[in-house]
């Protein structure tokens, strides 16, 4: 029997994460960051001004997920623009990087954690360059760089509160933090984890942000600060040089494009796999009538699981940085390819793994995503990351954690995603814009969660489009995840009947917590045309909060 989403699975009032307004909305993983963005809109800025203020503020108040030492992607479409633009500020491999730079065992696994923690795991960071590029080219021009960075500077200098989520992260990663004295000096107190309600002050980070506000990207990538970053990384065994920093380049791309039941999908192309595979996944699912099968019925979840197996097999086979490898983007995003792939799905049993898995990685949720929309129809979605929680090194006196995104490469030679100097590691990030069937701004959406990112974004889009769920309910709904190999992961609130029926079909189930940030942290804004209202939705699996006015 088809299942419908019961009202008890829509804890909007319980969590108070949603917001609605007529002029603008910001949804991010911390309320302070969302408020920073709204302050820019109130001051006369546009959605881009708000996004940059939100992004820099998140690097302060959500320090384990993103920051000046990381990178990411942005998808934007301003009112009057015919096409969306993707800004690629993903980290790059340093010039001294090599395909065999990490030691491996006989099974091809990295020995120790050199690719996933510490200085040798750091790629050349792109966040400062990317956010300032977006502000310079797509901001309103009515606000100065100093105004836009002021909320982040004030939060770093004045302090911010430790939330339950941040307290749990610090507790869980306290041993890792202790290995980095500079990091421990901020996030531990007398050698013990900071607790709920404590205030974290980071004057060193405030000083770096102030220099960026004053000098722009050159204040970070050139001169004394760049040399200090390079020297600090190299002292700890890393290979980033001042020349690597000075040579970093922001890229602009055309988006990965598709449609889903008449809605236009605009997302990130490679070197992220997220956008192309979001389109591919939705294309496969579009060949089936999900609504008739029922929301989170065993029949519907089975289709999701099987479609994801096919998509992840393609991800392992084809994906890498297109500056170094040929990626068949047009083929993977074609409706005809999806229709052929859908014929491989049996309705009464799971398929075996469709292709050998790629070498195992260390999946991480240390990423953040936020969305902004304003009343003029300006849309911005950003996903940015450090990779592993608190695993990167910190240069003493600078206050920000370096990324560990070298671990997103395949760390042995011979893969499309193997390490090469200047190459951008494969990602799953997919900040996404959705237009309605009339071509009007409809949704901005994104999520953290490593390989769970594009499946999570697709599920929320489907909840809205296929099942007519309000945005916050679509975010709150239980999630599933399946790769080309391994078990079918289900959030604990998926119904027992559905779980039982999936098991009877032959799926190997992994039941996770009821509200598990393994499945990401979606932040989205939706334009409700009948009400002419911007609806912000935020994820209770993290510290998410939407703010609107």
Residue 314 is assigned to a structural domain of this protein: yes
189 and 234 belong to one structural domain: yes
Final residue belonging to a domain, choices 408, 440, 467 = 408
The string of pLDDT tens digits covering residues 477-511 is: 999 999 999 999 999 999 999 999 999 999 999 99
Please name the residue that has the structure tokens 């069937």: 437
CA distance 97 to 92: 10
φ, ψ dihedrals at 58, nearest 5° = -60, -35
Count the Cβ atoms, other than its own, within 10 Å of residue 495.
17
The average pLDDT across 274-298 equals 97
Q: Give the up-direction half-sphere exposure of residue 238: CA atoms within 13 A in the CB hemisphere.
A: 33
Final residue belonging to a domain, choices 375, 408, 441 = 408
φ, ψ dihedrals at 71, nearest 5° = -165, -175
89 and 198 belong to one structural domain: yes
Of 50-59, 146-155, 529-538, minimum mean pLDDT range: 529-538
Please name the residue that has the structure tokens 């608190």: 390
Name the DSSP letter for residue 320. S
Pair type for strands 85-89 and 251-253? antiparallel
The candidate with the shortest Cα–Cα distance to 18, out of 368, 525, 374, 462, is 525
Please write down the long-range contacts of 15-18, taking CB distance under 8 Å and 24 or more positions apart: 15/476, 15/540, 17/472, 17/475, 17/537, 17/538, 17/539, 17/540, 17/544, 17/545, 17/546, 18/471, 18/472, 18/535, 18/536, 18/537, 18/538, 18/546
Report the CATH number that the domain containing residue 433 is assigned in CATH. 3.60.20.40
CA distance 388 to 65: 8
The string of pLDDT tens digits covering residues 422-468 is: 999 989 999 999 999 999 999 999 999 999 999 999 999 999 999 99
505 and 538 belong to one structural domain: yes
398 and 468 belong to one structural domain: no
What is the distance of C-alpha 533 from the center of its chain?
26
Q: Are 54 and 25 in contact (CB under 8 A)?
A: no
Tokens of 387: 């990779």
CA end-to-end span of the chain: 42
Q: Which position has the higher pLDDT, 107 or 278?
A: 278
What is the enclosing helix (H) or strand (E) of 164? helix 164-172
248 and 261 belong to one structural domain: no
Torsion region of 511: left, alpha or beta (phi above 0 gives left; psi -120 to 50 gives alpha)? beta
Q: Which pLDDT score is estimated for 9?
A: 30
Q: Which pLDDT score is estimated for 108?
A: 76
CA distance 388 to 207: 25
Q: Which pLDDT score is estimated for 364?
A: 60
The string of pLDDT tens digits covering residues 244-265 is: 999 999 999 999 999 999 999 9
Q: Which position has the higher pLDDT, 13 or 526?
A: 526
CA distance 287 to 342: 7
Name beta bridge partners: 272. Answer: 427
Residue 533 is assigned to a structural domain of this protein: yes
The candidate with the shortest Cα–Cα distance to 256, out of 239, 273, 243, 242, is 273
Tokens of 77: 């479409």
Catalytic residue at 367?
yes
The string of pLDDT tens digits covering residues 373-415 is: 999 999 999 999 999 999 999 999 999 999 999 999 988 888 8
Percent pLDDT > 70 in the chain is 95
Domain housing 229: 35-69+84-252+388-408
Name beta bridge partners: 72. Answer: 89, 384
CA distance 507 to 19: 38
Final residue belonging to a domain, choices 379, 408, 437 = 408
236 and 275 belong to one structural domain: no
402 and 504 belong to one structural domain: no
Q: Over 60: is that where the pLDDT of 362 sits?
A: no
Q: Which pLDDT score is estimated for 106?
A: 80
Q: Which pLDDT score is estimated for 531?
A: 87
Catalytic residue selected from 241, 367, 383, 404:
367
Q: Tell whether the torsion through CA atoms of 296, 298, 300 and 305 is positive or negative.
A: positive
Q: Are 146 and 214 in contact (CB under 8 A)?
A: yes
277 and 159 belong to one structural domain: no
Residue 420 is assigned to a structural domain of this protein: no
CA distance 239 to 248: 15
How many separate domains does the chain show?
2
481 and 542 belong to one structural domain: yes
Residue 247 is assigned to a structural domain of this protein: yes
Q: Which pLDDT score is estimated for 326?
A: 84
Q: Over 50: is that where the pLDDT of 309 sits?
A: yes
Q: Which pLDDT score is estimated for 109?
A: 80
Q: Over 70: is that where the pLDDT of 355 sits?
A: no
Residue 78 is assigned to a structural domain of this protein: no
Residue 318 is assigned to a structural domain of this protein: yes
Size (the chain), residues: 549
Q: Over 70: is that where the pLDDT of 216 sits?
A: yes
Q: Over 90: is that where the pLDDT of 131 sits?
A: yes
The candidate with the shortest Cα–Cα distance to 61, out of 43, 34, 39, 41, is 34
Q: Are 252 and 268 in contact (CB under 8 A)?
A: no
The string of pLDDT tens digits covering residues 3-12 is: 333 333 333 3
The string of pLDDT tens digits covering residues 8-30 is: 333 333 458 999 999 999 999 99
Q: Which pLDDT score is estimated for 359?
A: 40
Q: Which pLDDT score is estimated for 365?
A: 63
Residue 27 is assigned to a structural domain of this protein: no
Name the DSSP letter for residue 407. G
CA distance 17 to 470: 13
Residue 291 is assigned to a structural domain of this protein: yes
The candidate with the shortest Cα–Cα distance to 425, out of 251, 279, 241, 270, is 270
Of 319-333, 479-493, 525-539, minimum mean pLDDT range: 319-333
The average pLDDT across 313-335 equals 87
Residue 504 makes CB contacts below 8 A (sequence gap 6+) with none
φ, ψ dihedrals at 131, nearest 5° = -65, -40
- Whole-model pTM over 0.75: yes
302 and 347 belong to one structural domain: yes
Pair type for strands 523-528 and 533-537? antiparallel
92 and 142 belong to one structural domain: yes
Count the Cβ atoms, other than its own, within 10 Å of residue 509.
15
CA distance 331 to 339: 12
CA distance 332 to 334: 6
488 and 395 belong to one structural domain: no
């Amino acid at each position: 029997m088809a299942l419908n989403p019961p009202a008890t699975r829509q804890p909007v009032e319980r969590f108070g994460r949603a917001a609605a307004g007529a002029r603008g909305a910001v949804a991010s993983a911390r309320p302070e960051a969302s408020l920073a963005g709204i302050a820019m809109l109130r001051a006369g800025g546009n959605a881009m001004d708000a996004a940059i203020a939100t992004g820099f503020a998140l690097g302060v108040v959500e320090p384990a997920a993103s920051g000046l030492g990381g990178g990411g992607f942005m998808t934007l479409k301003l009112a009057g623009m015919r096409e969306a633009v993707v800004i690629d500020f993903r980290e790059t491999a340093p010039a001294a990087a090599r395909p065999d730079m990490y030691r491996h065992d006989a099974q091809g696994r990295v020995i120790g954690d050199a690719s996933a923690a510490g200085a040798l795991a750091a790629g050349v960071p792109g966040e400062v360059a990317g956010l300032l590029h977006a502000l310079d080219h797509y901001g309103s021009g009515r606000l100065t760089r100093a105004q836009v960075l002021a909320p982040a500077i004030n939060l770093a200098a004045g302090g911010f509160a430790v939330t339950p989520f941040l307290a749990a992260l610090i507790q869980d990663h306290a041993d890792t933090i202790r290995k980095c004295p500079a990091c421990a000096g901020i996030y531990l107190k007398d050698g013990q984890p900071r607790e709920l309600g404590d205030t974290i002050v980071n004057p060193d980070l405030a000083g770096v942000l102030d220099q960026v506000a004053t000098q722009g990207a050159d204040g970070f990538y050139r001169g004394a600060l760049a040399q200090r970053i390079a020297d600090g990384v190299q002292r700890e065994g890393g290979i980033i040089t001042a020349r690597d920093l000075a040579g970093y380049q922001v890229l602009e791309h055309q988006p990965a494009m598709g449609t889903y039941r008449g809605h236009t999908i605009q997302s990130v192309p490679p070197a992220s796999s997220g956008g192309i595979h979001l389109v591919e996944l939705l294309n496969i699912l579009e060949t089936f009538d999900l609504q008739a099968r029922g929301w989170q019925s065993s029949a519907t979840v089975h289709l999701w699981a099987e479609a994801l197996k096919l998509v992840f097999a393609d991800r392992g086979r084809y994906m890498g940085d297109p500056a170094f490898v040929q990626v068949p983007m047009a083929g993977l995003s074609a409706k005809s390819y999806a229709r052929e792939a859908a014929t491989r799905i049996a309705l009464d049993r799971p398929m075996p793994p469709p292709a050998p898995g790629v070498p195992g990685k260390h999946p991480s949720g240390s990423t953040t995503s936020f969305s902004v929309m304003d009343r003029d129809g300006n849309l911005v979605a950003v996903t940015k990351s450090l990779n592993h929680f608190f695993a990167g090194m910190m240069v003493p006196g600078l206050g920000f954690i370096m990324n560990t995104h070298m671990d997103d490469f395949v760390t042995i030679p011979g893969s499309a995603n193997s390490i090469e100097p200047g190459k951008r590691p494969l990602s799953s990030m997919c900040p996404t814009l959705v237009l309605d069937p009339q071509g009007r701004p409809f949704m901005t959406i994104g999520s953290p969660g490593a390989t769970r990112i594009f499946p999570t974004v697709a599920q929320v889009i489907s909840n809205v489009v296929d099942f007519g769920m309000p945005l916050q309910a679509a975010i709150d709904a239980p999630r599933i995840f399946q790769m080309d190999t391994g078990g079918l992961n289900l959030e604990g609130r998926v119904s027992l009947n559905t779980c039982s029926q999936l098991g009877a079909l032959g799926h190997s189930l992994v039941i996770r917590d009821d509200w598990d940030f393994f499945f990401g942290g979606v932040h989205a804004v939706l334009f409700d045309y009948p009400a002419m209202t911007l609806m912000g939705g935020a994820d209770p699996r993290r510290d998410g909060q939407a703010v609107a006015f």
